[in-house]
Amino acid sequence: MSDSTVQCWLVERTFDDRNLVTIVYATPDGSRYQQRERSSTSLRTGGAVTAATEIPEDELEPVTDEETRERYAEEVDRTAEQYDPDDQI
């Protein structure tokens, strides 16, 4: 188990018909990501989504295709330009 963390940025947020929100954070180069599912209720009652978060390295998954990797890297740049890491978005 690794103690080191990586700052990852919000690159995707989707809502489904079961009241679940899927949140994806990715590394700045778009090569690794973490996906989380939360109920929209929990987000409204204090589970804020921030522009960036520190994620343990061993909890990140590799991005397997180049197109997604490039899209994530572009989204990281866009989010980082518009928000500070602790901003709620």
- pLDDT, one tens digit per residue, over 45-74 is 666 789 999 999 999 999 999 999 999 999
Measure the N-to-C terminal CA separation of the chain; round to a whole number of Å: 30
Q: Delimit the domains of the chain by residue range.
A: 5-82
Average pLDDT, the chain: 90
Average pLDDT over residues 65-84: 96
CA distance 9 to 46: 19
pTM to 2 decimal places: 0.87
Contact (CB, 8 A) for 37 and 25 = no
Alpha-carbon distance 15 to 3, whole Å?
A: 32
Q: What is the pLDDT of residue 72?
A: 97
